[in-house]
Amino acid sequence: RFTLYAQQRNGFKRVPQKTEPRKPDQETGSKPYKSSLSPPVQETIFYTSSPSLKHLVKPFFFTIGFTGCAFGSAAIWQYEYLKSRVQNYFDEARADWMDKLRPQKNGDFRKQVNKWWNSLSEGQRTVTGIIAANVFVFCLWRIPSMQRTMITYFTSNPASRVLCSPMLLSTFSHFSLFHMAANMYVLWSFSSSIVSLLGREQFMAVYLSAGVISTFVSYVSKVTTGRFGPSLGASGAIMTVLAAVCTKMPEAKLAIILLPMFTFTAGNALKAIIAMDTAGLVLGWKFFDHAAHIGGALFGIWYVTYGHELIWKNREPLVKAWHEMRSKSRGKGGGGSH
């Protein structure tokens, strides 16, 4: 099932401060919008003059570099995993055979956990770590002494003194329990489909890259409009997952969680979400980070249409170079032992 529009990335506002580079007479005020989704930060600043685009240079190169590293690491991870699976095949088969011969302990908590874990799909097991990371960061928001650090590093804002690391960290950050629960529910719901489509390693590269790319699109929008304000939430990356699945399976039937009697196709759901976010961006709706939503959705559509062929299917030279480097290192190690 699909929680319609529950994967929103939350944007919130900040009041003028003396440390801002613009003078007070260059700003236009607006009333604070208080929300249970937002941490207690101040109201967004609106500038009448065009802000400098130099704020986007470092985030741009960080986006390119991080995306390249994410896919390169995923390719090497897949190579090493497949290699270890071949090497350990007989050991695992023997271990499974021995487990069947041993009497099972019904009351053993570890056995119950293993049984639950094995009942999950590969996609659900894959996103469990992502969900755990989001829960951990959510707990950090509850620590009063961590508030300043969380706002600096776990909310993304092109006007902040820290630009690059929050592009990734903010995608694991939620201040509201409802916001986190809604996002994680959508991720869990689509996890089996997206991992079946891409595989575990490629999915992780796409998900992490999507978080950074959607944040960069948010940065561009904020700098262009002059409305600098912090944002947080996993919905940029989740929109990529949703868009990828809906693009590949446009005829799949979805439903709103609270209204299961109303069903619609995945293709129509994607069009509706993009239309709503486009309207929000054009009309200046301030509650959600619509630019991040659109950036994530467009990246998901592009990746399953073109990116998989351009990026993932051309990973062989990198894997071959890694294999040769590992072979040489083992050769040197073996030579030194004689």
112-155 pLDDT, tens digit per residue, is 878 878 888 888 899 999 999 999 999 999 999 998 999 999 99
Percent of the chain, pLDDT > 90? 39
Kindly report the average pLDDT of the chain as a whole number.
79
19 pLDDT higher than 60: no
Residue 293 bears catalytic tag: yes
Residue 52 bears catalytic tag: no
**Pick the catalytic residue: 193, 235, 323, 327?**
235
- 177-198 vs 235-248: helix crossing angle, rounded to 10: 40
Q: Which of 52, 47, 42 is nearest to 25 (CA)?
A: 47
Which class for 48: exposed (0-12), middle (13-18), buried (19 or more C-beta within 10 A)? exposed
Q: What is the pLDDT of residue 43?
A: 42
**Pick the catalytic residue: 55, 179, 290, 293?**
293
d(CA 68, CA 307): 13
- CB-CB contact of 33 with 310 (8 Å): no
- Cβ count within 10 A of residue 285: 13
Residue 326's pLDDT band (boundaries 50, 70, 90)?
confident
Backbone CA torsion sign across 15, 20, 22, 24: positive
Residue found under tokens 């529950």: 6
d(CA 152, CA 8): 21
21 pLDDT higher than 50: no
Token couple for 236: 């940029």
Contacts of 306 (CB under 8 A, 6+ apart): none
Q: What is the pLDDT of residue 27?
A: 35
Read off the pLDDT of residues 33-64 as tens digits, 9 standing for 90 and up: 344 556 665 544 444 344 467 778 999 999 99
Residue 28's pLDDT band (boundaries 50, 70, 90)?
very low
